[in-house]
Amino acid sequence: MKVEEIFDALLENLKVGDASTTIAARRDEITKALNKDFRSVEGSTANRLMVGSYGRHTAIRGVSDLDMIYILPASLRSNYGSETGPRRILNRVRDDLIARYPNTDIRVDQCVVRVRFTSNKFKFEVQPAFENSDGSFDYPDTKAESWKVTKPREEIAATKDCNDRTSTNMRHLARMARAWKDANGVVMGGLLIDTLVHRFFSDTSEYDDKGSLWFDLMVRDFFEFLMNEPDKDYYLALGSYQRVHVKKPFQSKAKKAYNRCLEAIDNEGKATANKKWREVFGSAVPLEISKSVHSFTDTEEFIESQYPVDVSESLAIDCNVTQNGWRTASLRDMLRNKTLLLPNKELDFTLTKCSVSPPYDVKWKVLNCGDEAERRNKIRGEIISPNRAGNARHERTSFRGEHVVECYVIKDGIVVARDVIDVPISTNAA
């Protein structure tokens, strides 16, 4: 496939799509319920503002968190100015929405009221706020027992200005960065992504007027920009200049993406290029149809087809490699030391680090790649459950080739963390 065909298809597959109709309907229902209580008005959808990635129009398909500000009547400000005010206003909003959705999981979470629609696999985070004369908002914080300031309109305006200047490439790149984040388990929030994309375009005008024919070079340069960023605890958000915190360093994964971009560019026009771009951006990248010398059934499944993916937590997996008469070894240590992994080994894949608070579910994927897997018709790649205690997965090496094992942590119906490990087997069993 041509470069522009790959990236046009990628961006088309990343569109929010039909979900936007459901999101708009839920947004309007929530607003009507709050206007009925706070303003005694029936059926009004005024006094709300969609913010976050959805409000900045940088969200992608499978978006699971919808951020919405409900603008409170100014006349109520003095009623909620005390230390108890933040919790009282959030409880009032919660009760209004429970009355509207009695069978839905609705709860207060520090600064917002979370409304989880399990049938739609997304949640609204509704933030009641008072609008200030400069367009900013005062929002309640139950932990600080006070009101704080947020400036989402300035972030929305900065996104639009940059997007207009770059011939819509700002939003294109922001969406592709989200796809990379979710496909590779990069722990980054949406505002941090948009801020970094904004900074990238502030440093270069090379792609301001470029179309998708140039997107391979644009994403290559973006990942080079990310991998060379110094370690920081926070950035100043685009437009608002408020602090947006860095949950976990992203530079090493950006470097891996950069190197994969180089490989994809070197293989332009070949089926391997699509596969490399898929390693960067996930299954939204179309695969080039290639003929195999073997007849096999492609059984690979993709987590994105079963759950929304919004990586916000960290996960690390490893594998204990054992065989009778041999000392147990860590697969990651073997990979670092370039120790050969041979057939007839017992493999126990485990979660070594996980920042997700329980309860959560764990799924695994074991994918066999290459000529030998195709010849044996053992591609595998299904989304499967743990088969050992502690969410672990037991496997056994059997034949040479590249094998990949991936783990997903699912919280409230959303994939919030993922990690992958390569399992290269060097030779066949005797």
Q: What is the CATH number of the domain that holds 306?
A: 2.60.40.10
**Chosen domain end from 150, 180, 210:** 150
Q: What total number of domains does the chain contain?
A: 3
Q: Among the listed ranges 202-206, 348-352, 375-379, 385-389, which one has the minimum average pLDDT value?
A: 375-379
Quote the pLDDT of residue 242. 97
Choose the weakest-confidence range: 72-86, 199-213, 397-411, 416-430.
Answer: 416-430
DSSP string, 383-423: EE---BGGGBEEEE--SSEEEEEEEEEEETTEEEEEEEEEE
Q: CATH no. for residue 39?
A: 3.30.460.90
The H-assigned helical ranges of 185-266 are 190-203, 215-227, 251-266
Report the C-alpha gap between 324 and 345 in whole angstroms.
9
In whole angstroms, how far apart are CA 203 and each of 160, 169, 176, 232, 269? 17, 14, 19, 18, 30
Q: How confident is the model at residue 429 (pLDDT cuts 50, 70, 90)?
A: very low
Predicted confidence (pLDDT) at residue 369 exceeds the cutoff of 90: no
Domain assignment present for 390: yes
* 372: CB partners within 8 A, 6+ apart: 399, 400, 401, 428
Q: What is the pLDDT of residues 207-259, one digit of tens each?
A: 999 999 999 999 999 999 999 999 999 999 999 999 999 999 999 999 999 99
Q: Check whether 291 has a pLDDT greater than 70.
A: no
Query: Residue 430: pLDDT band by 50, 70, 90 thresholds?
Result: very low
Are residues 123 and 62 both part of a single domain?
yes
426: closest CA among 393, 409, 403, 401? 401
**Which residues share a beta bridge with 68?**
50, 126
| Within a domain: 300 | yes
Compute the distance between CA of residue 162 and CA of residue 150 in angstroms, rounded to an integer: 21
pLDDT reading at 303 higher than 80: yes
293 pLDDT exceeds 90? no
Tell whether 145 and 43 lie within a shared domain.
yes
Residues 118 and 161 in one domain: no
Residue 12 maps to a domain: no
Give 118-153 pLDDT, tens digit per residue.
Answer: 877 889 999 999 999 999 999 999 999 999 999 999
User: Using 50, 70 and 90 to split pLDDT, how confident is the model at 158?
Assistant: very high
Closest CA to 195 of 150, 230, 246: 246
Cα separation of 400 and 381, whole Å? 16
What does the alpha-carbon distance between residue 164 and residue 414 come to, in Å, rounded to a whole number? 33
Decide which of 93 and 322 is more confident. 93
Tell which wins on pLDDT, 370 or 428: 370
pLDDT tops 80 at residue 59: yes
Which residue bears the tokens 């697969």?
331
Structure tokens at 271: 């089926």
In this structure, are 126 and 162 located in the same domain? no
Nearest C-alpha neighbor of 14 from the set 252, 277, 406: 277
Is residue 126 within 8 A of residue 112, CB to CB? The reply is yes
pLDDT at 397: 81
195 and 251 in a common domain: yes
pLDDT mean over 84-111: 97
Do 88 and 195 lie in one domain? The reply is: no
Residue 266 covered by a domain: no
Distance CA 171, CA 3 (A): 19
Burial of 336 (0-12, 13-18, 19+ CB in 10 A): exposed
The pTM score is 0.93
- Domain shared by 413 and 308, yes or no: yes
Least confident of 11-25, 75-89, 243-257, 290-304: 290-304
Domain range holding 304? 294-425
Residue 16: per-residue pLDDT: 93
Query: What residues are paired with 236 via a beta bridge?
Result: 243
Average pLDDT of span 101-114: 97
Separation of alpha carbons 183 and 278, rounded Å: 9
pLDDT at 18: 82
Q: Mean per-residue pLDDT for 5-29?
A: 95
